[in-house]
Structure formats: structure tokens, C-alpha cells
Amino acid sequence: MKTINENKLAISKRRSQNIAFFLLGFLGYFIVAILLVILSFIVIKGFSVISWDFITKMPEEGMTKGGIYPAIIGTLYLVAGSMLFAFPIGVLAAIYMNEYVKDGFVKKFIKQMTNNLSGIPSIVFGLFGMSLFVNKLGFGDSILAGSLTLGLLVLPIVIRTTEEALKAVEDTFRQASLGLGASKWQTTRRVVLPIAFPNIITGLILSVGRVSGETAPILFTVAAYFLPKLPTSIFDQAMALPYHLYVISTSGTNIEESRPIAYGTALVLVLIVLITNLLANALRKFFGKKVKMN
Amino acid sequence: MQKLESRHINVHYGTTQALKDINIGIDANTVTALIGPSGCGKSTYLRLFNRMNDLIDGIKIEGQIFVDGKDIYEKGTNVDSLRKNTGMVFQKPNPFPKTIFENVAYGLRVNGITDQKFIEERVETSIQQVVLWDEVKDKLKKSAFELSGGQQQRLCIARALAIQPSIILMDEPTSALDPISTAKIEELIHELKTKYTIVIVTHNMQQAARVSDHTAFFYLGELVEFGITKEIFTNPKREKTQNYITGRFG
């Protein structure tokens, strides 16, 4: 009697395991499929317009012809500018939170506020950036104002990923360093940060992806509908890929005719994010190796 | 004067009491083993001597710890120089992600020593002290992670010796090592005794019997028995000690 029951149990256990495996596997591949569909859609529609001229020439004839060079350059400026602002501040804030503040009210409060900051819709950041950087501080519509606004937007991502990276460093490394008479800052700088660095790079990757794709925060702070020349200083306006895409899809001079350029722009945007990801991954591996060597 | 002494030490983590009125005196150039089941407070006790417990949020320490006759929990104690005088070795080998050379040099560098020649000499002497020199002298510029677990642990001891401490605290230094590496470390402890005062936490009863002069048996935050190792292991005064060392619990 007992053996029959056990057999039944084994069969039903195996069956439910098979079902679970199938479902989980299906969902996993489903996500891959969605990504592939989106990517191939953009590649198929945009590939035909991509050419050397497309990425190195100015737009022509009311943005229905020509290239998107100024938008690419503008986006690169904005990525660099916002990282220059958000990366040091975010990393230092995370170091303070993880290495210096004791568990308690202050830490909880800062953490909660950081989380809240990341929950604010990006258009609100745009509005805030306009009122503070553009008007109050008098930067005008400029790369500086746009970079600062985007920097604020990604600050929580940088802080959170850096914090996770620091948390992943085993405490005995800190204790060993402090035990040798090192100060907290020496310990952080010479032992903790080098170990955490490859993971901190992850925060940078995520932020770059986010910054290059955001439209709302640059809408009122930097983005130009069309500029006949490249920006020459951080106080100039700039074109940017996501905003350019928006403009030629909704309010261009001839929307139908500029449709291929829109897909081309989308493809370039995706490629930029993809390339930065690969680059950052390589960087991460490189530093991971270097950490072990030094 | 004894090298290390604790008087009426009470330690609380939040609402739980980790150590209850601990009084122990430790002579210079001896090895003292702290034994007891997990959670008995022996590691917490060890970490009082270089104030490593200060890092824990919500800990409360009462009583006095004397190192060379000075209360190290007194206000105005220079914790950095206290720690410089106290080398610490951990359960798992934890070399820094640096070269073999830089691992040992680290303690000197963070303490402001820049004389490269002096650093090189100290590094060599320290690595020789842990009998690792012949194995690593040709690859000092290589990452410390390339060494085996046992070699890494000896490197960590060398790292602690480089700053010329007078006390060495060891927190289960061989629990992650194979028997041969363990034997090497135990041998090392014997040799280091002539120069340093060593306190070692261990789960391994035979190890305590082999390496130590004195043994302290902790149970639930209390010091059950403290005395000469031979007597503790052959003729314990308390029944609880007897039960623990014969493996009846723990």
C-alpha cells in the first residue's frame, strides 16, 4: 500500500516540476522574444537610412533629408556632462551612507529620500531643471542646464548601485585594514573602493543608458528643435537624439517624408546605448582584473 | 604587570548580553586559547583587545581592558596606535586585492612610512617569519589571490607582523584550511610565542590543547573556567568544562 502511494507521490512531484520548468523557461524565452522583436523592428525599418553621411551630416530640407550628426553630438555631450556631475556626487554620497553613517534614523531618512527621488516622473525633473538651472541660476537653455537636470535624474541610480557594490565588500577586509592602524578613509580608498569598483561601473552603465534615452528632462532645459551649427560652449543649446526623434515624428515639416529618418535615429540611439553597455562591460572586466593584480 | 587584563567586562548587543563580568589576566609571550560553543562570546571577547567591536552598531561595553597597564577604553585612547600594536588574523584568509608585496607593505604605508628600503626589509623579514619567503620570493609582484588558502593565511599573518605589533589576535585562523596548512600555522604559533602575546579563538579542542599555555572556556557569555591548558584538559574543575572538552555538548 505504502509503496504505491510513494510512487504516486513521486510521479505527481515530477509532473509539477516539469510544469514549473516549462512555464519558467517559456517566460524566460518570451522576454528574449520581445527584445528581439523590438530590435529587429527598429533594425529593419532603420537600417536602410544608416550611412556614413547619415551620422556625419547636418539635417537638410526641413529635417526630411540629410543626417543627424548634431543630435548625436548633443546626446554625447549630455551623457558626458550629466555623468561628470552625477558620478562623483553619487559615489561620494554612497560612500558616506555605507561607510560612515551608523544604522539609524539619519541613514533611513536619506535612503527613503533617495528612493523617493527616483520615483519622481522625469517630466517633473524637466520642470524643476527649467525653473532652477535655466531661469533662477540664469544658465538659459543650455548643455549645462540639461546636463545638471539629467544628472539629478540619475543620481539615485548611481547612489543605489554604488551602495550595493560597497555592501558586497566583505567586512573582514575593512577589519583587516583598520586592524593594521589604517584610518576609515584609508580603508575606504585603498581597500574597499578598489574591490567595489567593477560593480560601481554597473551603476555608470545603467545611468548612461538612462540619460541617453530621456526626453522629458531635456525638453525645457537644453533641447533645440533644429540648430544649423554645433554647440560651441556649455551655455549653448544642443540637439539630442530622443528629442530629435520626437520632433520629426510629431511636428516636423513633413512627417511622412521624415519617417525613415525617425527609424534611423531610433536605431542610432539604440546602438549608442548598446555600445556604451559593451564598452562599460569591457571596462568592468578590465578593472576586475586590475583589482586582482594591484 | 600582565600584558592583557580584563576587569568586570560586560558587553550588550541591544538587549542581549554577550559577555558577563569577565575577568582574565594574560601574561606576555604566552598563547591563550578561547574555546566554547558558537555564540558563547569568545570572538566578541577577542575583539575587545583591539577595539574591533567599536564598529558594531548598538554595542555597549562596560568594564576595563588593560593593555600594558593602560585602560584602552578610556576616553582619549588613540585607537589607531592601539590597533597598530595588535595584529589580527581572521577566520577566512582575506588578503587585499593587491600584490603579495603590497599586502605586507600595506600596514606600513597607511602608517605613513615612505622609506622604500625600510619597507622592503620589513616585508622580507615578515614573510620569512611566517616561513613563506621561499615560496613567494620570485612572485612578490603577483596577486595575492594566486596563492593557496594556507599560503594566503600565512601571508595575512605576515601582513599583521609587518607593523611590529606586540599582540596577535587570531579568530579561528585555521578553520578554513586543510590539515597540512593547519599544522604549519600551529607550528608558526609556537615560534611566534617567543616574541608576541597571542590570543586565539578556536573551535578545535585538539588545537587549543596543542598550541596554548592557558585556556579560557566560555559558555553563554560567561567565563566558566580559565587556567593552565594542561589542567583544563586533564583535570577540569567544573563539570561543564569536562562535558564540553569531552564532546558531550557544543
Contact across the interface for B90 and A172, Cβ inside 8 Å: yes
Mutate to test the interface with A, among B46, B54, B90 (most CBs of A within 10 A): B90
Confidence check: pLDDT of B61 > 80: yes
**Residues lower than pLDDT 70 in chain A:** 1-4, 63, 252, 290-294
DSSP H or E run through B13: strand B4-13
Flag whether residue A288 sits within 8 Å of chain B, measured between CB atoms. Answer: no
User: What region, left, alpha or beta, does residue A190 occupy, with left being phi > 0 and alpha being psi -120 to 50 degrees?
Assistant: alpha
Mean pLDDT to the nearest integer, B73-94: 91
Nearest to B143 by CA among A288, A256, A102: A288
Separation between Cα atoms, residue B120 and residue B93, nearest integer Å: 23
Chain B's closest residue to A182, CA to CA, is B110
- Give the count of beta carbons closer than 10 Å to the beta carbon of residue A264: 25
CB-based contact B97:A292 (threshold 8 Å): yes
Say which residues have a Cβ less than 8 Å from residue A73's Cβ, sequence separation at least 6. A230, A231, A238, A239
Share of chain B above pLDDT 90, in %: 79
DSSP annotation of A135:
I
**Secondary structure class of B6 (helix, strand, coil):** strand
Residue B205 Cα, gap to closest chain A Cα (Å) = 25
Q: Which CATH number is A52-293 given?
A: 1.10.3720.10
Cell output for A132: 532652477
Using the CB atoms, write b or e for B96-109: b if 16+ within 10 Å.
Answer: bbbbbbbbbbbbbb
User: What Cα–Cα distance (Å) separates residue A175 from each residue in A187, B181, B232?
Assistant: 9, 23, 32
Instruction: Name the more confident of B197 and A49.
Output: B197
Contact across the interface for B57 and A102, Cβ inside 8 Å: yes
Q: Concatenate the DSSP letters of all residues of A167-196 into one string.
A: HTS-HHHHHHHHHTT--HHHHIIIIIHHHH
Q: What is the pLDDT of residue B117?
A: 95
Distance from first CA to last CA of chain A, Å, rounded?
66
Partner residue facing B106 (CB), from A180, A183, A195: A180
Separation between Cα atoms, residue A275 and residue A262, nearest integer Å: 20
φ, ψ for residue B56 (rounded to 5)? -85, 130
Q: What is the pLDDT of residue B5?
A: 94
Q: What is the pLDDT of residue A290?
A: 64
Residue B215 Cα, gap to closest chain A Cα (Å) = 24
pLDDT in tens, B114-145: 999 999 999 999 999 998 999 999 999 999 99
Contact across the interface for A186 and B110, Cβ inside 8 Å: yes
Number of Cβ pairs < 8 A linking chain A and chain B: 80
Q: How far is CA B231 from the centre of its chain?
A: 23
φ, ψ for residue A29 (rounded to 5)? -70, -30
- Give the count of beta carbons closer than 10 Å to the beta carbon of residue B177: 20
∠ Cα A7 A13 A18 (to 5°): 125
Separation between Cα atoms, residue B189 and residue B96, nearest integer Å: 22
Partner residue facing B52 (CB), from A170, A175, A191: A175
Residue A165 Cα, gap to closest chain B Cα (Å) = 15
CB-based contact B159:B107 (threshold 8 Å): yes
Flag whether residue A176 sits within 8 Å of chain B, measured between CB atoms. Answer: yes
Measured CB to CB, residues of chain B less than 8 Å from chain A are 50, 52, 55, 57-58, 80-81, 83-84, 86-88, 90-92, 94, 96-99, 102, 106-107, 110-111, 143, 145, 156, 159-160, 163
- Which residues of B are less than 8 Å from A181 in CB distance? 80-81, 83-84, 107, 110-111, 163
Q: What is the pLDDT of residue A2?
A: 57
Partner residue facing B110 (CB), from A170, A174, A181: A181
Q: Output Rg (C-alpha) for chain B, integer angstroms.
A: 18
Beta bridge partners, B7, equal: B64
User: What Cα–Cα distance (Å) separates residue B146 from each residue in A192, A293, B21, B140?
Assistant: 20, 10, 44, 11
Beta bridge partners, B201, equal: B34, B171
Q: Where does the pLDDT of residue B156 fall: very low under 50, low under 70, confident under 90, or very high at 90 and above?
A: very high
Strands A65-66 and B16-26: unpaired
Helix axes A69-95, A143-167, angle to 10 degrees: 40
Residue B227 Cα, gap to closest chain A Cα (Å) = 28
DSSP annotation of A47:
G
Separation between Cα atoms, residue A258 and residue A84, nearest integer Å: 34
Walk me through the domains of chain B, giving residue ranges and CATH numbers: 1-85+169-250 (3.40.50.300), 94-164 (no CATH)
Q: What is the pLDDT of residue A294?
A: 46
Say which residues have a Cβ less than 8 Å from residue A157's Cβ, sequence separation at least 6. A90, A118, A203, A206, A207, A210
ipTM of the complex: 0.89
Q: What is the pLDDT of residue A233?
A: 83
φ, ψ for residue A228 (rounded to 5)? -75, -15
Residue B112 Cα, gap to closest chain A Cα (Å) = 10
Cell output for A25: 523557461
Mutate to test the interface with B, among A99, A170, A173, A180 (most CBs of B within 10 A): A180
Nearest to A122 by CA among A82, A149, A157: A149
Residue A40 Cα, gap to closest chain B Cα (Å) = 43
Mean pLDDT to the nearest integer, B3-8: 94
Say which residues have a Cβ less than 8 Å from residue A47's Cβ, sequence separation at least 6. A267
Lateral strand order in the sheet of B86-89: B86-89, B167-171, B197-201, B31-35, B214-219, B222-228
- Which residues of B are less than 8 Å from A104 in CB distance? 57
Separation between Cα atoms, residue B100 and residue A294, nearest integer Å: 9
Separation between Cα atoms, residue B45 and residue B3, nearest integer Å: 16
Contact across the interface for A179 and B88, Cβ inside 8 Å: yes
Flag whether residue A10 sits within 8 Å of chain B, measured between CB atoms. Answer: no
B-facing residues of A in 144-173 (CB < 8 A) are 170-173
Mean pLDDT to the nearest integer, B162-191: 92
Residue B9 Cα, gap to closest chain A Cα (Å) = 21
CB-based contact B75:B200 (threshold 8 Å): no
User: What region, left, alpha or beta, does residue B32 occupy, with left being phi > 0 and alpha being psi -120 to 50 degrees?
Assistant: beta
Give the up-direction half-sphere exposure of residue B116: CA atoms within 13 A in the CB hemisphere. Answer: 0
Residue A192 Cα, gap to closest chain B Cα (Å) = 9
Contact across the interface for A181 and B143, Cβ inside 8 Å: no
Q: What is the pLDDT of residue A238?
A: 87
